[in-house]
Amino acid sequence: MSIGILGKKIGMTQIFSKQGDAIPVTLLEVGPCTVTEIKQEKDKNYANIQIGYEYVQPNKLNKPLIGHFRKKNLPCFKYLKEYKSNEWEKLSIGQIINISQLKQSNYITISGISIGKGFSGYQKRHHFSRGPMSHGSKNHREPGSIGAGTTPGRVFPGKKMAGRMGHKKVSIKNISILEINTQQNILLIKGSVPGKKGNIIYIHQQ
């Protein structure tokens, strides 16, 4: 069964294998999440499962969200997320989803918001090469000409130039789980995940 669950990034460290190899790992505090809604559309073999994460006081939410939770006799949640599931009949509103339902032998996909780098130049943002550094060249870190000639006489949309870098949704597929701690809801995964410490991440496993 496909499982979607929300969590937070704690930080990174490293562990050592039996052969003595250093393995970079990321610690994640995952779940528990609650199923808040099941949307099953006609003529489709899947349903949209909405889950809630991190309890919050009702005065922190707007009236439509408060009514959404009260209608189903659920506590208020700060974060909501939807994902598709083919085996939605096994789920029910109010059911708790935690990391004990993840399979350590299967890979997972992790999505999050990458770290914002602010306004960056074209070399750092798009990995362009620099200009010559000698023989009187005055083009070291400049983008150079961006025009397309007299015809069409304009810059095409989507031109790779300097601009805001980072702070975008990034998904990393096929991440292996090294350890699952069900008592403290801690997930130990191999490698890095997008975002900084404390960022909300979304984990999905087929």
| 78-94 pLDDT per residue, tens | 999 998 888 777 788 88
pLDDT at 1: 64
pLDDT at 41: 77
pLDDT at 10: 93
Average pLDDT over residues 64-73: 89
Question: Would the pTM of this model clear 0.85, i.e. be above it?
Answer: no
| 108-166 pLDDT per residue, tens | 999 999 999 999 999 999 999 988 898 888 888 888 888 778 888 888 888 999 999 99
Q: Where do the DSSP E strands lie in the chain?
A: 3-16, 22-30, 33-40, 47-55, 77-85, 96-97, 108-113, 118-120, 163-165, 169-175, 177-181, 186-190, 200-205
Q: For each of the domains in the chain, give its residue range(s) and CATH number, in order of start.
A: 3-117+168-205 (2.40.30.10), 118-165 (no CATH)
d(CA 29, CA 124): 32
Q: Is 66 helix (H, G, I), strand (E, B) or coil?
A: helix
